[in-house]
Amino acid sequence: MGLSSPDDAAIWRLSDEQAIVVTTDFFTPVVDTPYEYGSIAAANSLSDVYAMGGRPFLALNIAALPDHLPAEISSEILRGGAEKAREAGVVVAGGHTVKDKEPKFGLVVLGFVHPQKIISKSGLKPGDLLVLTKPLGGGVTTTALKQEKVDEVHVAEAIEWMSRLNRDAGQLAVEFDARGGTDITGFGFLGHAAEMAEASGVSLHVEYSKIPLLSGARGYAERGIFPGGAFDNKAFCEAMVTFDEAIDEPAQMLLFDPQTSGGLLFGLKREKLDVFMKRAEELNQPVWVVGEVRTGKGIEVKP
């Protein structure tokens, strides 16, 4: 998998029992503390393996660092990445660094997945409930940080969520036999949802009131502090989305807000909901049922 479908990682079957998952991701700093930046970049790189139902086991660093960057800052970025990988049970076995004006960091990640348990963007089925595992609003919050308009409490909250591994969310998706899923990153909630709706040949029905948001997100959205990517995402998939008239402009834009290391979005069989909620609590994994999958096309957002 990986050449023709828009999935989160490439998959290579080794045997009937085992396939290897390969992915990479890296980006410029989203926060101004080096350790947290490393940790978020690593959680984000690992996320694509979890999004496909896999378990990561090995990683390599990819870094581009400015010549003049003090050594203690570069080592904090790498330490943040290495400790997040260790939390995931993943070994970072080296990597490669080049010089560049703006820092960039991420991981190449290898994981294993059972060939029958792969989660893909094309696996949603009518009747599934849509489960989201992290709140939205990372893009507006980190943009407010860059523009120095942010409340520090909101930064701390965003960092906590962005550095959170999608390991237990992925574990839940696998245990409950999800077949359709992805992680919410640069295309925003609706961009990734639109990809899944199209790849699965279904329509998605989202209830806005069920969507979790970071505490500062609505406020920054009302002040229009969106990253450029939010408008690109809107242009890209707006034709597929019908908003109820009660969903105002800031609310619509929050659904297009690009996320860094966002949560998983996957389909859950409705009859499993009660057991699923209990298991999520056991794993201490927050989950929100934000809508459902039906036949048809496109995405409808209701209050």
Residue ranges binding Co ion (CB under 5 A): 8, 25, 48, 183
Could you tell me if 109 and 50 are in contact, meaning their C-beta atoms sit under 8 angstroms apart? no
Could you tell me if 74 and 193 are in contact, meaning their C-beta atoms sit under 8 angstroms apart? no
In the complex, the smallest distance separating the C-beta of residue 54 from Co ion, rounded to whole angstroms, is 12
Cross-strand pairs, 182: 265
Give residue 236's identity as a one-letter amino acid code.
F
In the complex, the smallest distance separating the C-beta of residue 183 from Co ion, rounded to whole angstroms, is 4
In the complex, the smallest distance separating the C-beta of residue 21 from Co ion, rounded to whole angstroms, is 12
C-beta closer to Co ion: residue 22 or 283: 22
C-beta closer to Co ion: residue 186 or 286: 186
d(CA 175, CA 154): 33
C-beta closer to Co ion: residue 8 or 157: 8
In the complex, the smallest distance separating the C-beta of residue 296 from Co ion, rounded to whole angstroms, is 25
In the complex, the smallest distance separating the C-beta of residue 115 from Co ion, rounded to whole angstroms, is 20
Give the residue closest to Co ion by C-beta. 8
In the complex, the smallest distance separating the C-beta of residue 22 from Co ion, rounded to whole angstroms, is 12
d(CA 202, CA 297): 5
C-beta closer to Co ion: residue 8 or 76: 8
C-beta closer to Co ion: residue 10 or 277: 10
C-beta closer to Co ion: residue 103 or 170: 170
